[in-house]
Structure 1
Amino acid sequence: MSNNEFKVNNHNYRIIKNEDENLLFHVPSSALYELDKEGTSLLKRVENRNLCKEDFYSEDLQMLEKLNVIGDEEPNEYIEVKNFPATTLILNIASGCNLSCTYCYKADLETLKNSGNMSFDTALQAIKRLYEGAPNQKLYNITFFGGEPLSNFELIKDVTMYATQFFKQRGANVDFTITTNATLLTKEIISFLKKYQFGITISIDGPKAIHDKTRLTNSGAGSYEMVRKKVELLLSMYKERQIGARVTLTRGITQVDEIWDHLFNELHFSEVGFAPATASDNAVFNLSEKELLEVFKGFKKLGEKYIEAALKGEFNGFSNLHRVIGDIHAGRKKNFHVVQE
């Protein structure tokens, strides 16, 4: 084989640079391969079609051919999926909220006084349809969402008890999760969540000065102090599962490391996940390209801390990277936004 006889399949790989280290990301399998200096040099010669005679006998070139980075394109084998069971049900149980977060994406959100709540009959029918669409599975998930879902806590109780028996009678288990702003938490509610071992995510945007810029009560006051007190109560009572914080980053907010430090080291959340605002209908809250670069620099810093902690057998709670690593390990494919510096 000569330099003119092989094909380079550029769409099958990407080079990821990390300081003085290069990694090859294999697109078809979502696998990562470390490239030493010889491997990096070989790949450049491949791309430039400037291979020497010795290269054609190297193990590295054989590996690139095995990965289909070079060589004739392997045909895609499509497998018809006839049964793809959806086992998660998201119940939007409340259209109202006791906060008025400035960046909220729900244009139809009402105050609690004027809100409409899901009925038990609607929830019951949704659970039955979930099972009918994916019968005989071992585990199902029901997520309570809103508005503020805890404003309809009576329905949460009724649905949880009903669903537990419903799936038990069918030889299955059901897991419950909830995303809440924490403001309506009480000892009674926390005890109920403990009993059924809910997965809990708290919407909180960082320390007081940052959180109170956008997460306001209906009267226009900052909600941080109220949220902090409820979080402290929750974390003191709830040890059954890890509790995560979900942070929304809006225009002008790029202090990723400061936010993580406060939520992980001061408030003691088990995980902290960040969601940059980039596609809101109200563009005033979207992060600019420059701000996204600052956020990604912060993510890189947290990623380095993640690695340092992992080498010590510890977890630093940076859930964005933790989930990406899990996806890569499992071979799950996702689209990621790329910003060029």
Structure 2
Amino acid sequence: MRTIKGPGIFLAQFAGDAAPFDSLEQIADWAAGLGYKGVQIPSWDARLFDLARAAESKTYCDDIAGMLAEKGLAVTELSTHLQGQLVAVHPSYDAQFDAFAVEAVRGNPTARQAWAVEQLKLAARASAHLGLAAHATFSGALAWPYLYPWPQRPAGLVEDAFAELGRRWRPILDAFDEVGVDLAFEIHPGEDLHDGVTFERFLAEVGDHPRANILYDPSHFLLQQLDYLAFLDIYHDRVKCFHVKDAEFRPSGRSGVYGGYQGWVDRPGRFRSLGDGQIDFAGIFSKMAQYDFAGWAVLEWECALKHPEAGAAEGAPFIARHIIPVTDHAFDDFAASGSDRALNARLMGLDA
């Protein structure tokens, strides 16, 4: 077994135009000062990272890794959540998701998708240059508007949507395979890959591709009322990234899972800072140790109530407390009786 790495922090929710959040070096100083050991970098944020340059220049990546190492930090993963979303966009979301792309391809879904695919391929090479084992992203969605089966869906709609999703992602998965990096899809409402069943549908469409893997975030499962501990029992072999994010679900006589179109503060299901919600992190970290998870425990902060800097300050010690330094021997080894095949035979009554 291996001890999980961490604590790490996803920088996307903290990056901004004011110091210390406007450059990778300054935000790294801030994160290190809070006790973090790793940073997950949003590849779309030019204030922090130049994805195209990282894909072409290992020297650039070495410089970043060296700068972070001097501060006691490492890159946990790169993220292409925004670009991955654009690999598959249902037309009803075109206007909302256009802002995720560069201006040159906005208003042109075909060009936007091609740009997104190229971004993912750049991220594969950049991840390899950084020596990373996994990459975090979203799947995008073609079937999501048809989540609830009313009106009745036309026969084959879901199957066709997943076939197209697989067709779009297969070349990207192959690009990651060429450089030896796992692609971890965050299983997330709003994406076609939002639970175990939909992940299995996707795997079937990409031929159980070895690079098609999972970013595990229990908060999204709690809000769906999915058993997030059992999910690890089923899919642990595919879990390559881990967002440590808390949540709570408090249904009432007025609102439940769907939330009634309310804002985050008023929804029955809402994200919380670590320790303020209902997630059983002791159980999760135990499962991660049991299944020999080799990656990082990375804070993703999205609390509906608490200030982000307060959440970040509390996050590092919270994660550190939950990391289990795994044992290299069994607790009852002191009573071991050694190996004796003849004794084994006698114990089973086979020596008569």
Q: TM-score range by the shorter chain?
A: 0.3 to 0.5
Say which structure is richer in helix. 2
Relative to the length of structure 2, the TM-score reads 0.36
Greater Rg over alpha carbons, structure: 1
* TM-score, structure 1 normalization: 0.37
- Taking CA–CA contacts closer than 8 Å with sequence separation of 6 or more, which of the two structures ends up with the larger relative contact order? 2
